[in-house]
Amino acid sequence: MSDIALKIITPDRIFYEGKASAVEFNTTEGEIGILPGHIPMTVIVKPGILVIEEDGQEKEAALHAGFAEILPESVTILAEIIEWPDEIDIERAEDAAERARERLRNRNDGLDVVRAETALLRAITRINVLK
């Protein structure tokens, strides 16, 4: 089976460009894995771990926001925020997770629940990708 041409673009750099035999990430509809020959689809990214499989090796990154265009032979991810594990500050992530949990626990009226949940999800993703 042929490979997928994977391209991950962020506003300020080209994060990754190369071949992959499989790509996995989290979307608003749930986690998906993409193999070559996938039907054309556009999905919205939800914070989660991005796994790139290439020559039996796996690369991981924390993908936080953006959307992806999937075609049978290529996948283009327009990522707003994405990081390699070595770019993550674990202490900051843990602090952020704690803060978000705190906010969700003592819900007051002005709380932006969606925002707090996203923040928590992001922090958890960062922590998980380092494990």
**Positions in the binding site for another protein (CB under 8 A):** 9-14, 27-29, 39-44, 66-67, 69, 71-72, 76, 78, 80
- Complex with another protein: residue 79 or 100, whichever CB lies closer: 79
- Complex with another protein: residue 44 or 90, whichever CB lies closer: 44
Q: How far is the CB of 24 from another protein (least distance, A)?
A: 15
Which region holds residue 101: left if phi is over 0, alpha if psi is between -120 and 50, else beta? alpha
User: Which residue in 103, 92, 93 sits closest to 126, CA to CA?
Assistant: 93
Q: How far is the CB of 40 from another protein (least distance, A)?
A: 5
- Complex with another protein: residue 19 or 58, whichever CB lies closer: 19
Q: How far is the CB of 121 from another protein (least distance, A)?
A: 15
- Complex with another protein: residue 2 or 42, whichever CB lies closer: 42
Strands, E, within 1-131: which ranges? 4-10, 13-20, 22-27, 30-34, 41-44, 48-54, 57-71, 74-83
Task: From residue 131, give the alpha-carbon distance in Å to each of 38, 39, 92.
Answer: 30, 32, 15
Q: How far is the CB of 69 from another protein (least distance, A)?
A: 6
The span from the first CA to the last CA of the chain, in angstroms, equals 31
